[in-house]
Amino acid sequence: MKRTFATFFILCLVCLCIFADSSSVRLRSMGGIGIAVSDPRHPAVANPASLYFLENDSSFVLDSSYSDSFLPNSGETFPTYPGSGLKGTFMGKRISFSIGFDYSVESTGIGDGIKYYNVYQTSEIRLDFCAGYGNFGAGIEVYGGSTKQRVNVPIHQSTALSDFVIQTYLSPYDRRSDSEYLQINLGFMYGMGGFTFGLMFDDILDNQDSKTALSWDTFVNEAGIGVYYVRDEYGRRGSLNHFGFSAGVEVSNLFRNSTRTFHAGLELSYMLLKDYGFYLRTGYEALFSDFSLGTHSFGIGSRLDYVEFYLNFRFPLAVYRGLNSGDRFTVELAAAFSF
């Protein structure tokens, strides 16, 4: 009886962690775009200026993701590098506030049927607000947090699922020194028809040695630009467009040659009703300096009224050419509940 109750309790926790940052999960399946994304069906706020273009007066979203990565044909057993997160977001007409927790691991060794990890818990608070006039919007994003850790945590292969839940979510963490951070970003967006054009300046404030200072280097070098298109949800006669289409192209770290990155994403959808439909997504992300060795992403999803599900895959483009880049394959599962 006790074992049955414990199993049920663990499964409930896993469901909570899965069923609970889903807008970012969607964007990761589209090559990591977000600078110019403004979509009423998926109210992401990668650019705080996008809040100006969203039509909802207010909403609350509870969302999360679970992911794991592996090397093909390596003989690894799951979990290998599990990670998950839980976030709650309130979105108003011109403001968004969220609190989230992310969990990640770092492998430290393998024993007799046991894997050892350093486990990290990052907590973050984020505030976005914006203003605009006509077709132009501008926003400020402020977020900060800290990281806690657990060192050399054992995960037994025979009880991997329960061990992961207990060691990650139910056990105490130790403070990680100098892990606190604060960041302020600026975003701008212009909308015209189904197109939106975005501009982001990341990390205006730089937190170093427990001091926060204005960082002109990152302000300029880590700027990003992008363009995004989404088909109107309704046709000219007011009828629902069952087939949807959206796509975006962006460049991040615009003036930093070593990390300048290209992002492209595409989403196709079929909506049975306004809040019931299916999605197919794909994207590509790569450094300009090594464009042919980027990451291909692919995702499927469904929306059932207030609930949305996501299943994503990310893998190196080198696999199409039969090359072994050494990069890991990632599988990601998420869901969101909004009201």
Q: What is the mean pLDDT of each run of 10 residues along the chain (339 residues)?
A: 43 40 76 87 79 80 85 72 87 90 87 87 94 94 92 86 84 87 91 93 68 64 92 86 94 90 96 93 94 91 91 87 72 88
**What is the rounded CA–CA span in Å between residue 180 and residue 210?**
8
Q: Which of 168, 132, 140, 134 is nearest to 52 (CA)?
A: 132
**Residue 23: its pLDDT value, please?**
53
Burial 10-38 (b: 16+ CB within 10 A, else e): beebbeebbbbbbbbbbbbbbbbbbbbbb
The CATH code for residues 2-338 is 2.40.160
CA distance 123 to 277: 33
Running DSSP on this structure, what letter comes out for residue 80? Answer: S
Q: What residues does each domain of the chain span?
A: 2-338
CA-closest candidate to residue 30, choices 279, 254, 238, 318: 279
Q: In angstroms, rounded to a whole number, what is the distance separating the alpha carbons of residues 106 and 168?
A: 13
Three-class secondary structure assignment of 11-48: HHHHHHHHCCCHHHHHHHCCCCCCCCCCECCECCCCCH
How far apart are the C-alpha atoms of 140 and 128, rounded to whole Å?
A: 6
Q: Please state, in angstroms and rounded to a whole number, the distance separating the CA atoms of residues 303 and 270.
A: 10
d(CA 86, CA 46): 17
pLDDT for the residue 91: 87
